[in-house]
Amino acid sequence: MTENVAERIREILDTIYSSESRQVLATLIRLLGDFDAAEEALHDAFAVALEQWSRDGVPANPRAWLVSTGRFKAIDGMRRRARFDASLVELVKQLESSASDPEARDDESVADDRLRLIFTCCHPALPPDAQVPMTLREVCGLTTDEIARAFLTRPPTVAQRIVRAKAKIRDARIPYEVPSATDLPDRLDAVLRVVYLVFNEGYSASSGGSLTRHDLSGEAIRLGRLLIELLPEPEAVGLLALMLLQDSRRAARTSPTGDLILLENQDRSLWNRDQIAEGLALVERALTSRRFGPYTLQAAIAAVHAEALSAAATDWARIVGLYNLLLRVEPSPVIELNRAVAVAMRDGPLAGLTMIDAILARGDLAKYHLAHSARADLCRRLGRRVEARAAYEQALALTQQEPERRFLARRLAELPG
C-alpha cells in the first residue's frame, strides 16, 4: 500500500463521512436499539474502512458496507463482553437473529431511519432544551462544542442535556419510529418548532453582540430541506419557504458596523434572489395544498415583502389579509401587533396606533420591547414627540440585545428636541 492510496482513501472517507455518516448512524440506531452503541459502531466502521478499503478498494455500496460492518463490530464487541456479563448473552442473540440484513433493505427504509431519528430527537417526552441539542448532534452531526458555542452555553451543559436525553430514550423506551397517522400532525409540529427555533437562534441571537449566527440558520435550512425530502407535508414546505425568505434578507438587515436596518430601509439589491425564487415557489406549493397552517401563512407574508420593489410599493392590503388569516389559525398578541403595523402602512399611522394601544391596554405585550418600539415609531410619524420619546425609552429598557439597543438609542437621538 502506497502513501498515495491511503491518502486518497482518507479523502474519499471524509467525503462519505460528511454525506453519509448521519444516515449510517440512523440505521445503526434502529439495528442496535441504542444511541451510544450505534455511535461507537459508526466510528468503528469508519476505522475498519480506512484499513480495508486501502487494501481491497472502495466497495460498490459504501453506505451498506459501513452499516453492516458497524453492526458486526457492535455484535462482536458485545459477544466478547458477554463472556464476563451474562446479562448480555440474550441481547447478543436477539441482535444476531434480527433477520433484517441491512444490505437487503431498500432506500425507502433507510430514508425512514433518518425520519425516525428526527422524530425521536424531537419527541415531546424530551425537555425542549434537550430536543434542540439532540437534533443538532444526532441528525446534523454538530459537535457538543459547536452547539455550545452557537447557543452561548458551556459544552458540559450541552453534553449533560444530551446524556440525559439518551438515558430517557432508553429508560422510558421512547420508540424509534415515524409516528402513526393520528399522531403525525402534533409530532410534526414539534419537529418544525425545533427547526424554526434553531433558525431563529441563528437569525437573531437572543442576546449578545452579533445579530446573526448564520451557521445555525444554514443548519436549520438544511434540516428543512431534509425534512421535505423525507416527508413533504405542506407545513414543512411552508417552514422551509419562510426560512429561505427571511434568510434572503440577511445581508441587508445589518450595516457593516453591525447595526440593525429595518425592512423599509434595507437595500433590496442585497437580497438573495436565488433564495427568494426558491422560497416563492415553495410558498406557492404549500398554498395550493390547501392544508397549510401558520408557517405557510408567515411565509406568504414574507413573500409579499420579497416581491415588493420598495416598502412603499408593498401590497399592504394583502399583508393585512394574510395576518387576518394567521390570527384565525393562531391567535396571538404578537401577530396582532404585526397586523397593527401592517394596518398603519395601509391606512396611516393613527389607525395602527389605535390598535397597538388597545393591545397594550390589555397588558399582553407590556413587557415586549417591539410593542413599545412600534408604538414609538407610529408616534414619531404622527409628530407626537413626547410620547415617542417615552415609548422608545421603555423599549430600550426592555431589550438586552446589543444591536437592537443601538438602533433604539439612535432613533431616540434622532427625535427632534
Partner 1 sequence: MKYMLLVYLNEQAMNDTEREECYVESAQLCHDLEAKGQYLAASPLHPVATAISVRVRDGKRLVTDGPFAETREQLGGYYLIDARDLDEAIAVAARIPPARKGTIEIRPVMEIPGLPTG
Residues that bind partner 1 (CB under 8 A): 123, 125, 171-175, 177, 179-180, 183
Name the minimum Å distance from CB 175 to partner 1: 4
Question: Is residue 253 within 8 Å of 204, Cβ to Cβ?
Answer: no
Q: Which is nearer to partner 1, 184 or 334 (CB)?
A: 184
Name the minimum Å distance from CB 277 to partner 1: 40
Q: Which is nearer to partner 1, 101 or 183 (CB)?
A: 183
Q: Which is nearer to partner 1, 166 or 249 (CB)?
A: 166
Q: Which is nearer to partner 1, 35 or 199 (CB)?
A: 35
Spatial distance between the Cα atoms of 298 and 375, rounded to a whole number of angstroms: 22
Q: Which is nearer to partner 1, 172 or 277 (CB)?
A: 172
Question: Is residue 392 within 8 Å of 376, Cβ to Cβ?
Answer: yes
Question: Is residue 73 within 8 Å of 38, Cβ to Cβ?
Answer: no
Name the minimum Å distance from CB 233 to partner 1: 19
- The residue count of the chain comes to 417
DSSP one-letter code for 252: G
Spatial distance between the Cα atoms of 374 and 142, rounded to a whole number of angstroms: 37
Name the minimum Å distance from CB 341 to partner 1: 39
Matching residue, cell 443548519: 219
Name the minimum Å distance from CB 186 to partner 1: 11
Spatial distance between the Cα atoms of 48 and 54, rounded to a whole number of angstroms: 10
Spatial distance between the Cα atoms of 322 and 309, rounded to a whole number of angstroms: 19
Name the minimum Å distance from CB 169 to partner 1: 9
Q: Which is nearer to partner 1, 119 or 368 (CB)?
A: 119
Question: Is residue 144 within 8 Å of 166, Cβ to Cβ?
Answer: no
Q: What is the dihedral of CA 359, 361, 364, 367, to 10 degrees?
A: 110
Three-class DSSP category at 392: helix
